[in-house]
Amino acid sequence: MLTAALNWKINEDFDFNLLVGNELNDVNLKSYTETGQDFNFPGWNHIGNASVVTANESQWANRTVGIFGNLSLSWRSMLYFNATGRNDVVSTMPRDNRTFFYPSVSLSFVASELEPLKNVDWLSFAKLRVSYAEVGQAGNYYDNYFVAPTYSGGFWVGAPIQYPVDGISAYIPSYSLYDPNLRPQNTKSYEFGVDLKFLQNRLGIDYTYSKQNIKDQIFPVPLAGSTGAGQLVMNAGGVTTDVHEIMLYTTPVKTSDFQWDLNFNYTKVTNMVDELAEGVESIFLGGFVTPQVRAGIGNTFPVIYGSTFVRDKSGNIVVVDNPGAWNHGFPQMGEPGVIGEASPDFILNGTTAFTYKSVSLSAVFEWKQGGHMYSGSNGLLDLYGMSAVTEDRESTFIYDGVKPDGTPNDIVRGGPNDPFAVQDLYTNVLSDIDEYYIHENSFVKLREVALRYQLPKNIYKTANIGISLFARNILFWTALRNLDPETSQGNTNMGGSFERFSLPQVTSYGFSLDITF
């Protein structure tokens, strides 16, 4: 990396900074593996003792060459302007689509520095910010290649066929293909914000609105099996994220010995899929064959997609009316569709702290409102008859819904003459309907309570000691039964909307000691 910088103080008020540079990033990886099987005799753990030795090697290289510049200009402590630009050339994209440029500009204005506002008592600080930025991002492109076939998955435990077979190998085209016209993806973000502080900083409000437009997002798009391939790495579409964020800082009480702080952070994030490349119906983000977590056009994302209940026009579950059948009076599986939206309506975080002299007591809580998740564990608890709802297997019951003719369901199942009804319902009907596994997962949590004591005097020169006791994850209320909704798997892509066999969250209590110098 080479950079050149210029600092120029134009006059009392103006300050000018310029930085230009280039960067060359070159990575070469080689890895070797050597595996030995069937040792001739025990006690000598060395490859020379193995009867079957397999060796493999893989190499990977990548180069990025970037040129960048950064210009900043400020006037007094009031107006700040910043502009950047960067051009990258990357090796991991197809020929002729390797170069991309992305700029950014930002401006901030500290209004409280204006003469008329400088001496206003109740206003301590006021700032307006606005910015625009683009970020380019390369994908990982390869020419299509052949691989050795594998036979695991599906019904198989392990691989029933393993090449080489009797010394014969085979190669087939890789399941994953790359679009030779792959372009770098581009994210444009706009941001506008206000920071205000009043009454000697005892009350503060920050508000930020930002919008991100991702164009030509690179995704491995799952293909219809009938195309003969599994997925295609391509520019699959555009998504937009809108974020409103409000921070509120308050100090309701402040005396020389005692202070009470109360802060809130409200966020509302909306992800929308604007466009998808021709032929792409939705983007697979995670999950099983069914249900899946996806992003689809016209929906917020992620959404959960899977088999539904058969419902009538007004949304009532339609039950089977077939006297004598094992599933008489039970719901049925309908067409696959969107069965839940993972995005919450909003998230509100709060922190509060009481400080008296050297002792402080603080708490952190979070409220997530709205959003759905797939709870595999709850479904399995029902399937195996281990959950509370399956406890009563002897009383009669009527499944809530309507009959095919539209009248309310009045088919009575269960009781002594129908002993398998409860088991059939949970094991053979509901277990196949993904929609049954969908639960709202709003929650309110007390994340942490901590008590901290700071020694009033330094122990040695500037060194000081603080002692804290804390308890984490102690109280929560949630719309999801049996489980903490945050115990989900694959959170990065799937927005925490998938859970199966997950471990409960731990409650922890602790003690900590911190020394500052």
Partner 1 sequence: MRKLINILLSGLLVFALWACSEDKMDEINKNINDPTDVASRLIITDVITKSAFTITGSDLAFYASIYLEHNVGIWGQSYSAEIRTNEPISSTTYNNSWNSMYRTLSDVKTIIKKCSEGGDEEGNYHTLGIAQTLNAYNLAILTDLMGDVPWSEALQPGVIYAPKLDKQEDLYVIINQLLDDAIVNLQKETVFPSLGAQDFIYGGDAAKWLKFAYGLKARYAMRLSHRSPAYNKVVEYADKSFTSAAEQCIFSYNGSTTYSPFYRFFTDRDYFGASQSLANKLDERNDPRANIFWKKHPAADGFEFAPNGGPVQVQGRYGISAISNPTAPTYMLSYHEIEFLKAEAYVRQGDNESAKGALKKAITAAFEKVNIGLTADDAEAYFDSEVLPKFNADPLKEVMNQKYIAFFEEEAIEAYNDYRRLKAMGDNVITLENPLNAGNKFPLRYTYGASDVTTNENVSNAYGDGTYVYSENVWWAGGTR
Q: Is residue 96 within the footprint of partner 1 (CB under 8 A)?
A: yes
Q: Which is nearer to partner 1, 400 or 432 (CB)?
A: 432
Q: Is 76 left (phi over 0), alpha (psi -120 to 50) or beta?
A: left
Among 33, 42, 116, 165, binds partner 1 (CB under 8 A): 165
Q: How far is the CB of 48 from partner 1 (least distance, A)?
A: 24
Q: Is residue 427 within the footprint of partner 1 (CB under 8 A)?
A: yes
Q: How far is the CB of 28 from partner 1 (least distance, A)?
A: 9
- Would you give the DSSP letter of residue 497? -
Q: How far apart are CA 78 and CA 82, in angstroms?
A: 13
CB 268 within 8 A of CB 345: yes
Q: Is residue 449 within the footprint of partner 1 (CB under 8 A)?
A: no
- Residue 88 CB coordination number (10 Å): 21
Among 333, 411, 446, 465, binds partner 1 (CB under 8 A): 333
Q: How far is the CB of 156 from partner 1 (least distance, A)?
A: 6
Q: How far is the CB of 372 from partner 1 (least distance, A)?
A: 19
Residue count of the chain, please give it: 517
Q: Is residue 323 within the footprint of partner 1 (CB under 8 A)?
A: no
Total chain residues near partner 1 (CB under 8 A): 86
Q: Which is nearer to partner 1, 36 or 336 (CB)?
A: 336
Q: Is residue 164 within the footprint of partner 1 (CB under 8 A)?
A: yes
Q: Site residues for partner 1, window 191-250 (CB under 8 A)? A: 222-230, 232, 234
* H-only helix segments in 434-481: none
Q: Is residue 145 within the footprint of partner 1 (CB under 8 A)?
A: yes
CB 384 within 8 A of CB 423: no
Dig out the tokens for 95 from the structure.
Answer: 């020929």
Q: Which is nearer to partner 1, 114 or 325 (CB)?
A: 325
- Using alpha carbons, select from 321, 317, 275, 305 the residue that is nearest to residue 413: 321
- Using alpha carbons, select from 19, 21, 25, 15 the residue that is nearest to residue 6: 19
Among 92, 250, 263, 489, binds partner 1 (CB under 8 A): 92
Q: Is residue 405 within the footprint of partner 1 (CB under 8 A)?
A: no
- Binding track, positions 272-301, relative to partner 1; x by CB under 8 A: ------xxxxx------xx-x---------
Among 55, 61, 359, 467, binds partner 1 (CB under 8 A): 61
- Residue 65 CB coordination number (10 Å): 16
- Residue 454 CB coordination number (10 Å): 17
Q: How far is the CB of 67 from partner 1 (least distance, A)?
A: 8
Q: Is residue 154 within the footprint of partner 1 (CB under 8 A)?
A: yes
Q: Which is nearer to partner 1, 179 or 486 (CB)?
A: 179
Question: Angle at Cα 284 formed by Cα 315 and Cα 484, nearest 5°?
Answer: 65
Question: Angle at Cα 33 formed by Cα 29 and Cα 35, nearest 5°?
Answer: 175
